Structure formats: structure tokens, C-alpha cells
Amino acid sequence: MSAGKGVAVFCAASESIDKLYVDAANEVGAMLGRVGASLVYGGARFGLMEATAKAAKIAGAHIIGVVPDILVERNRVSTLLDEHIPCRNLSERKDIMLEKSEILVALPGGIGTLDEIFHVMASATIGYHGKRVVLYNVNGFWDGLCSVLDNFNAAGFIRGDFERFMVVANSVEELEQLIKEAIDE
């Protein structure tokens, strides 16, 4: 399978995740293959990362893992990778994922996923890029974060129209449409 345009997916590597979120990751992976995108992700072999990669691989997507040295040292790298891009640390991984992707998607996740979301948003607000991060709002997972960001915006702490670089998708169909728009440009 030839590599399509990159779609970065940020998500949890935890194994103790409700099946609802694993099912959503499977849907997203399958959709990426269906639209001809390449999956760009953190390369771990656990949790939503592995579920997304496995479904994307089955659906024919090219799988790009941006893998920090510590995952290699701990033997936590997925065996599903078509392309392994090594990096020193999480900061470098975020920069590479941003560079290799047309759009970035945040599935439910924890502190690492929040860090990735804010990295994309902060760099967009000061003009490093014009790419969007899409919060895939499975079962209302991102509602609280959206409320916090709305409060920050209303109080004047977010410059410009942050919805230019962050958008919420409440269904896989909405997510698919946003991805198609980004990779077809």
C-alpha cells in the first residue's frame, strides 16, 4: 500500500480503558484506511494506540510510528509499523508528528494526549502552521476541556479564533469529513 497523506492520531497507550473507547479507536483506524490516509502516531503497542494501528493496518492504511528512544528501550514498540521514525523524546515526537500530518486527531487520552493537543494549538496560535486538531468527542469525553477553553477564550486568554485550529467531531462521520477536507486540499 502506498502512503497516503498523513493523519496524526493522539491517544492513550493505557490498557485499562473502557471498551467504548477501544471500539472508537477501531472505527477511526478503519476509517483512515478507507479514506486512503496514512496513520501517524506514537508507535506504542498498547491501548488505543495499538487498537487504532491494528484497525488502520487491516483497512490498508500505511502506518507511521514516531517512536521515542524510551519505547525502544522498554520493548514497547508496535510490530505493525510500515515506517519507524526514531526520535529522542516526546517533544521531538510531537514536532515530527505535526510535520508529517495534514490534520491531527485526539482520541480520548490522558496527560500525554493533552500535551499533544496543546502543542498543536499553541504553535498554531503564533503562526507556526495552519493545521487543525480535531477532538474526537466519544461519549462526551472532551466536553469538560471544551468548557475550559470556552472560559479561557471568553476571558481573553486565547488570542484569535481558536476554532480555526481546534474543532470537535461528535461522530466518526463528522471526523471523516474533516479528515477528507484536510487531505484533499
State the residue range of the domain holding 25: 6-183
CA gap 167, 175 in Å, rounded: 10
pLDDT at 161: 76
27, part of any domain: yes
How is the chain split among helix, strand and coil, in percent rounded to 5?
Answer: 50, 20, 35
Q: Tell me if 1 is assigned to some domain.
A: no
Residue 45 lies in a domain: yes
What mean pLDDT is predicted for residues 166-185?
Answer: 96
The rounded mean pLDDT for the chain is 95
Q: Is the pLDDT of residue 2 over 70?
A: no
- Domain CATH code at residue 58: 3.40.50.450
**Apex CA 172: angle with CA 171 and CA 174, to 5°?**
65
Q: Residue 26: inside a domain, yes or no?
A: yes
- Number of compact structural domains in the chain: 1
pLDDT tens-digit map of 32-69: 999 999 999 999 999 999 999 999 999 999 999 999 99
Helix (H, G, I), strand (E, B) or coil at 74: coil
Q: What is the mean pLDDT of residues 94-101?
A: 98
User: Among residues of the chain, what percentage have pLDDT more than 70?
Assistant: 99
